[in-house]
């Protein structure tokens, strides 16, 4: 027999594919198909107050005839008990309540009806939402993220444009969102997801994108003073592989004909500045494999070409990773210090002050080689080497309690605090680029007013 929910799935799939509404991925369709939900039609939830003497009687009903004790709360001097009761056992349960003179009430008259109501509310919620599935309550697919990007471009066309800057090895789109209110502004680049398993990174970049667009009015200076180039998903092949096959996958998914059994390159060791000069591997099976040559990967080439085409405009390069709570400066290939170190440090200090105000989250600040290790071929070094003065590599939450498997409940808090840090960073960079005017200005001696 075809149940209502199955019809609903079929209708959703048909609608999704024929009218451009959110279509379900094969994984989502599979997850909806199995397992078939149990029907709780006619099940009642009774609540009763029981004294200690009669407690064993009620307790013994649990697990007999499909009865399920949902909850037992101490409520001095009695116990309050919730008992889920199938239709066939209702007579028996009422009989026991009456026999022991227990007062009781029917909390839920038909559990299936309650479930359906909850479902229909969910559906209404879904269908009433704008044409995108994005939330910060779970880790989303690449498709969900791109659907949200499409939505932003359609909804905020005066502010948002998107560009495909290349294709991944498996031919997924590599997309950059541009947020701009007009020409001739310095620009900030933010990317996430270069390492596949660091799921909170793309989620956080999406959160930043969400606020810079849908809440741009809250921070008018940020969108009027800068162009923003945002690439939430720098390694979509690896991310999907991590979602569907191996949660801890880090690299790209390119196949090297010389080592077909060891797939992928560490994209953050593949950039062509001081490539393969320490802290990366020549072994294709290693998770830090630098690749057969610099920029062997279409993903790193796409980022390179985009950055080079705008390197005079770009003042800030931020690449977001996880985890360890670090805000890092170049260089990562050498212990030597960049001439820009102090400026980068000053700005990052203010960024972290901002980040910390949200929930006290502490980050370490310093050069990559001071906080982690030598790593050559990283994107932060490459960006700095082509002349982008402020280059930052971030490691988001946490400090290792969950590591890469950060619970989804922490996506939004991570997004909120990181966005706070990014905002403070942007303002601090702006002040560095255009130092605030000091008052009073002596235009000429005559015009100077004495205020002594």
Ligand X SMILES: *[C@@H]1O[C@H](CO)[C@@H](O)[C@H](O)[C@H]1NC(C)=O
Residue placing its CB nearer to ligand X in the complex, 63 or 359 = 359
Minimum separation from the CB atom of position 193 to ligand X (A): 19
- Cα–Cα distance, 402 to 362 (Å, whole number): 16
CB of 118 to ligand X, least distance (A): 26
Binder among 63, 224, 359, 401 for ligand X (CB under 6 A): 359
Nearest CB to ligand X, comparing residues 150 and 170 = 170
Identify the residue among 171, 261, 438, 450 touching ligand X (CB under 6 A): 171
Q: Which is nearer to ligand X, 54 or 144 (CB)?
A: 54
**What interhelical angle do 26-33 and 4-18 show, nearest 10?**
170
CB of 92 vs ligand X, minimal distance in Å:
16
Phi, psi torsion values for 120, nearest 5 degrees: -65, -35
Distance CA 249, CA 393 (A): 20
Among 26, 35, 182, 360, binds ligand X (CB under 6 A): 360
* Backbone phi, psi, residue 114, to 5°: -65, -40
**Among 126-134, 164-172, 262-270, 317-325, the segment contacting ligand X (CB under 6 A):** 164-172
- Based on CB atoms, which residue is closest to ligand X, 227 or 417? 417
Please report how the helices 411-433 and 200-214 are oriented relative to each other, as an axis angle in degrees rounded to 10. Answer: 60
- Closer CB to ligand X, residue 93 or residue 188? 93
With respect to ligand X, which residue has the nearer C-beta, 292 or 413? Answer: 413
CA dist 300 and 435 (Å) reads 34
Mark the segment that binds ligand X (CB under 6 A) among 105-113, 121-129, 163-171, 175-183: 163-171
What are the structure tokens assigned to 79, written together?
A: 């116990």
CB of 326 to ligand X, least distance (A): 18
Q: Under rule CB under 6 A, which residues in 70-129 are in contact with ligand X?
A: 100-101
Which one of the listed residues 198, 240, 395, 417 is annotated catalytic? 395
Give yes or no for residue 401 binding ligand X (CB under 6 A): no
Q: Decide: is 413 part of the binding site for ligand X (CB under 6 A).
A: yes
**CA–CA dist 347, 284 (Å, integer):** 38
Give yes or no: 395 in active site. Answer: yes
Q: How far is CA 305 from CA 161, 228, 299, 399, in A?
A: 18, 17, 10, 34
Residues 325 and 361: their CA atoms lie apart, in Å, by 8
Give strand pairing partners of 178. Answer: 161, 229
Residue closest to ligand X, measured at CB? 413
User: Beta strand 160-167 with 104-108: parallel, antiparallel or unpaired?
Assistant: unpaired
Give the residue from 359, 316, 347 showing the smallest Cα distance to 425: 347
Rounded to a whole number of angstroms, the minimum distance from the CB of residue 199 to ligand X is 17
End-to-end CA distance of the chain: 91
170 binds ligand X (CB under 6 A): yes
CA angle, 396 as apex, 311 and 314 as ends, to 5°?
10
Enzyme catalytic residues: 395
Q: Name the residues that contact ligand X, by CB under 6 A.
A: 100-101, 169-171, 359-360, 413
């Amino acid at each position: 027999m075809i149940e209502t929910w199955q019809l609903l799935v079929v209708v959703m799939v048909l609608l999704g594919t024929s009218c451009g509404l959110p279509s379900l991925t094969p994984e989502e369709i599979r997850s909806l198909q199995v397992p078939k939900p149990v029907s709780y039609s006619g099940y009642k939830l009774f609540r009763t107050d029981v004294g200690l003497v009669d407690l064993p009687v009620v307790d013994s009903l649990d697990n007999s005839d499909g009865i399920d004790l949902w909850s037992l709360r101490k409520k001095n001097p009695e116990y309050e008990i919730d008992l889920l009761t199938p239709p066939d056992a209702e007579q028996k349960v009422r009989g026991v309540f009456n026999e022991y003179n227990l007062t009781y009430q029917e909390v839920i008259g038909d559990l299936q009806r309650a479930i359906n109501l909850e479902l229909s509310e969910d559906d209404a919620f879904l269908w009433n939402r704008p044409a995108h599935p994005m939330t910060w309550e779970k880790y989303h697919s690449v498709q969900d993220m791109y659907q949200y990007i499409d939505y932003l471009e359609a909804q905020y066309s005066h502010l948002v444009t998107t560009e495909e800057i290349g294709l991944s090895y498996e031919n997924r789109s590599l997309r950059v969102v541009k947020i701009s209110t007009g020409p001739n502004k310095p620009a900030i680049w933010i990317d996430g997801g270069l390492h596949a398993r660091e799921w909170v990174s793309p989620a956080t970049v999406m959160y930043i994108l969400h606020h810079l667009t849908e809440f741009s009015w809250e921070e008018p200076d940020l969108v009027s003073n800068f162009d923003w180039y945002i690439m939430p998903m720098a390694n979509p092949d690896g991310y999907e592989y991590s979602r569907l096959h191996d949660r801890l996958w880090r690299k790209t998914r390119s196949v090297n004909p010389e080592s077909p059994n060891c797939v992928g390159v560490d994209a953050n060791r593949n950039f062509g500045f001081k490539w393969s000069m320490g802290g990366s591997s020549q072994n294709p099976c290693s998770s830090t494999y630098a690749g057969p040559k610099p920029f062997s990967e279409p993903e790193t080439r796409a980022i390179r070409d985009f950055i080079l085409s705008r390197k005079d405009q770009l003042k800030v390069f931020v690449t977001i990773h996880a985890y360890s709570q670090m805000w890092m400066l170049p260089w990562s290939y050498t212990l030597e210090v960049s001439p820009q170190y102090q400026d980068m440090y000053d700005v990052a200090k203010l960024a972290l002050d901002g980040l910390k105000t949200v929930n006290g989250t502490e980050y370490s600040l310093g050069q990559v080689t001071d906080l982690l290790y030598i790593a050559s071929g990283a994107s932060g070094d490459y960006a700095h080497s082509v002349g982008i003065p402020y280059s930052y590599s971030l490691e988001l939450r946490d400090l290792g309690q969950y590591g890469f498997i950060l619970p989804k409940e922490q996506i939004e808090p991570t997004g909120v605090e990181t966005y706070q840090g990014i905002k403070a960073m942007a303002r601090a960079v702006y002040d560095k680029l255009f130092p605030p005017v000091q008052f009073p200005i002596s235009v000429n001696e005559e015009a100077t007013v004495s205020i002594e």
